[in-house]
Amino acid sequence: MGGVTDREADSAAVPATPFDLASMRKQYRAEGLSETELAATPVEQFARWFKQAATDGGLFEPNAMVVSTADAQGRPSSRTVLLKHFDAQGFVFYTNYDSRKARELGENPHVSLLFPWHPMARQVVVTGVAWRTGRDETAAYFRTRPHGSQLGAWASAQSTVVAGRRALDAAYAELVARYPEGEQVPVPPHWGGFRVVPQAVEFWQGRENRLHDRLRYEAEADGGWRVERLSP
C-alpha cells in the first residue's frame, strides 16, 4: 500500500469550506458584443466602456485594475492599482520605483492589466510593455494628489519589511511636522509613473451558458489594429 505524501497530508488537514464552491455561479444575461459595434481602436473602445462603468456600472472604483508582472525568472506577481490616465499612447499608473512591481518591470517590461467590472459582467485585459513616464509628467500628477497622499509616498518604503504599524505611523507623523498642510511637498525621486503601451486589448462580455463574447484587438506592424474573436 502506498504511503501518503506530505502534500496529501497537508491537504487532508485543511478543514472543508462551509460553502459549496462548485455551485457558486451566476447566469449572465447581458447583451452581447459584436464586431460591428467596436470602435476603430482599443483605446476608443475602452473609453466607451469606461464611461459606462464610471456612470452606470455601480462600481466602487472603476479605475481599479489588477497589474500583473513577472521577474527575470518568470515568477509572476499581481496587485490592484488605480489607473490614473489613458490615451492613444497607453495606460498610466504611479508607484514607488523601489516597489516589487517596479523592480520586476525593470527586469521584464511585459505587463498585463485586468479591469474586473463584475457588476457589468465585463472584463478588459490589456497586455503590453511598460515604460517609465517622464519626470515632468510625474511631477504634474504628483501635484494633483491630496497632501496626505503626497506625504505617504515619502513615508512608505513600498514592498519592504516594516517593523510594525507604529513605525509607519511615526514616519508619517514626522513628515506631517516637516511639511504641514499648505506647504509644497517635493516629488520623491524614487516615485513615478509607468505607461503601458498596449500590444493587445481584449474586451470580455459575459453571456448566457458561459458562451461569452471575447473580442481582442491585436496591434499590427503598420500601427493599425486587427480584431479577433476568441472562443469563450
Catalytic residue positions, numbered: 210
Assign residue 26 a region (left: φ > 0; alpha: ψ between -120 and 50; beta: otherwise): beta
Q: Supply the DSSP symbol for 99.
A: S
DSSP state of 60: S
C-alpha 43/C-alpha 222 separation (Å) is 17
Cell numbers 458584443 correspond to what residue? 33
Q: Which of 30, 51, 28 is nearest to 39 (CA)?
A: 51
**For cell 476608443, what's the residue?**
44
Helix (H, G, I), strand (E, B) or coil at 62: coil
Provide the residue type at 94 as one letter. Answer: Y
Q: Which of 155, 187, 154, 148 is nearest to 170 (CA)?
A: 155
